Chains A and B, each alone.
Chain A
Amino acid sequence: MIPVRCFTCGKVISPAYDEYKRRKEAGEDPKKILDDLGMERYCCRRMFLAHKEIIDDLNPYQ
């Protein structure tokens, strides 16, 4: 799961992740998506760029 807030500045970033993921899968440039989502600082931007979603891999195991 994407962290709720940016590790560095504390901005609540997670609500933007659904849109980021959808648009990135549609082949859009991450720079443009992050600009549109209002992610101004590089600390918040790296939260998206460096995130790897593994919840779907974990879900089969209990």
Chain B
Amino acid sequence: MKKTSLALGLALMVLPRAEAAALRVVATLPELVDIAKRVGGDLVAVDGLARGVEDIHQIVMKPSFVAKLNRADAVVFLGLTAEHTFLPGLLDAAQNPALRVDHNTSACLGPGCIDCSAGVRILDKPQSLSRAQGEVHAQGNPHYNLDPRNGLIIARNIEAGFSRLDPGHAAQYKKNLAAYREELELKIAQWVKKSGPLKGLKAVSYHGDVAYLAAFTGLDFIGTIEPKPGIAPTPAHLAALVGVMKDAGAGLIVREQQYDAKTPAWLAEKTGAKIAVIGTMANSMPDTETFVKFSEKNLINLLEAR
């Protein structure tokens, strides 16, 4: 009896668990979890990797993520190498044929790969590639999730991926997408009106990740606290930045919440500029667990700080 119970227990542990949902999905970022749930509805079971408060380029590779990816039918990711520090390594370890990784490009190649960047108008494409430029992204700026309008493209890509993997429920995914689009388009129209006062306002950011935010709000970013992407600020660079900000009349410092507060505070003291804290992922700040709430919170923080 004991042997039978033990064998049964082991079998239950090792055999893949039956899931009610048609698709088992892993999404790298909280806003992708949110949109995947909205598009997939009850037909998908969505698990996330990042919590949102991390720096997207520093997410830790946990073996528990490997176990999730090993069992997944699909992985939803931002792409453009935004997840280069963790996703290729995890996919390699997960040994899931549906989620293969190309070791030259770090791209996800299997049928379960859902790249949300397809169709996004990419900004900040580097003219040349060199480590002397700091931690540049070869394919261009990957932080397109900071422009709320790209939420529509993300949702469309997720719908296309789900419909491809689960064609039997394609009509339902399309219906869910239409409902989400309607909601998001309404919000975007409101945000466009609200963001009017930001247009043309001179600003600096900590990291060079705000091109898409600038495209949506009309903010004019004239510099970054980091001298180059991923390179910590030096005293000489900060002194020069103070001069640039004063000359341009920059009144706003945008600090992504994962970066230290001390340097922007020092810069604000020297220039008289106000600080706006923004998130670069959903759930990075309280009450921002969805793409809509995250986009809205960023806009509110910018407007309040100006």
Does A pair with B? no
Measuring CB to CB, which residues of chain A are less than 8 angstroms from any residue of chain B? none
